[in-house]
A and B are shown apart, each in its own frame.
Chain A
Amino acid sequence: MEAVLGVLTNPYYIQVVTMVGISLIAALGLHLITGITGQFSFGHAAFVSVGAYASALVTIHLHLPFFLSMLAGGLAAALCGVLLGFPSLRLTGDYLGITTLGFGEIVRVVFINMKITGGASGLIGIPRETNIFLVYAVVVLTIWGMYRIQNSRFGRALTAIREDQIAAETMGINPLLYKLKAFAIGTFVAGISGSLFAHMMQYLNPADFGFARSFEYLNFVVLGGLGSIPGTILGTAILSLAPEFLRFVKEYRMLIYGALMVTMMIFRPYGLLGGVDILRVLRNYRDRLKARRVTP
């Protein structure tokens, strides 16, 4: 019992688990953009960084309560998302992906060059306003929100665009408008994640939001199972914790991580939970249990 309590209250583990939650929020935003709407975004970390810097600066300079600066972070990221999305969402597939990748790098360089963000040495002096409970409350809220979006008329329109944009258009869906809305929501969520990150780490550095980080988010979404919320949760949890579990191999850690990405894709090209409907699996299981109880 004492050992369990010791693990549960170890500040390092709490930090790791909190970071998983923060990453998960951003990953859920990307899930809406890439998983549901089918639009490639290789610059998701840029929106997280915009949210992080915006909320941190609001907290530091305007002394607003955390809730409001979190909102400001989300809105700043969504504004960037719309500004980028409006001209670029008519690009398709890989072209959109590379444009967002370029946007991500530009944002990083701009943050390095700006005075107010502390430049390359980073932004310090952000008060700590987050804890594991707040993060997981936001996680639950985001998951609930994503399920609501996915199963609404709006969400079905997004899925229609992913499956066949021309067919969706003939059904009266305006693809640009819907994609833009999905982009705005997804980047808003990324900004919220960034605000939590800023007020957790109390320090921001543009180097943490490079394109490598963007691809990490993409990994979370794809390796778990593209288009599946349980898949996104599983992918984020496994990939965020993998470096912790791989700590014993020391300098070979990233070697194994890279090899793991290749092998996982080869064996499960649709992701771990790709094509698996968790709710249906659980429902079938329950039905089978019921059937067994009824038949003597």
Chain B
Amino acid sequence: MIRIPLYLAVAQWALLGALGVLVIVMFRQLGRLMIKPAEPGELGPRQGSRAAALSYLHPGQEAVHQLRPGDGQPLLLAFVDPTCPSCEELVAVLDAMQAAGELAGVRALLLISDPPSYLSISETFTATRIEIGRPASRDGLDYYRASATPLLVAIDGGGVVRAAGSVIAKTEVRAFASACLLPPPDAELSVVAASGGGAGRVGPSAGHAGTDLTGGGETAG
């Protein structure tokens, strides 16, 4: 009769248990992936809708500032956090584009939810010349459905959301910047933009963002 050493028996059960846990984790993830297409996107505001106003603070300051989309200036609003590596990529891209003059005429604003002291842990956030703010209240914040970061929202001068999604690649960010420079739409055009079919310049980036929306809800920032 073969006698298995006690430690070997114990260790193999531990290994088996760990593998079992990993299998369960993967099947749960598989289940989420299979359910996702049926779920509506929950990340970012709807295209074609009118952007909500926000109040925010500059880190380390107490003065409350108001963000009022629709004041005539196109806006790139980025929901990012210094503890998020993908957010750092987005901020670096925005910073480079601003330095290269590609964001001329567009106001860029980074909104963080992490404590202001966290800015110091990220070189990218420390070095950026883009305005950084932190929401001062929840008023208007729910509209943006920033359930995950990074989230970039392109708002035109009329205050209409032209594109929204989780993007970090320069080409995508450039498409967002172009989208918010479109002239303010009249009522008919805004319907076309919301359907996603008629806005050729916005379509590709918006389509990508739409794909990304599917998993937004599961990763709370």
Q: Do A and B bind each other?
A: no
Where the two chains meet, the residues of B that have a C-beta atom closer than 8 Å to any C-beta of A are: none
Where the two chains meet, the residues of A that have a C-beta atom closer than 8 Å to any C-beta of B are: none
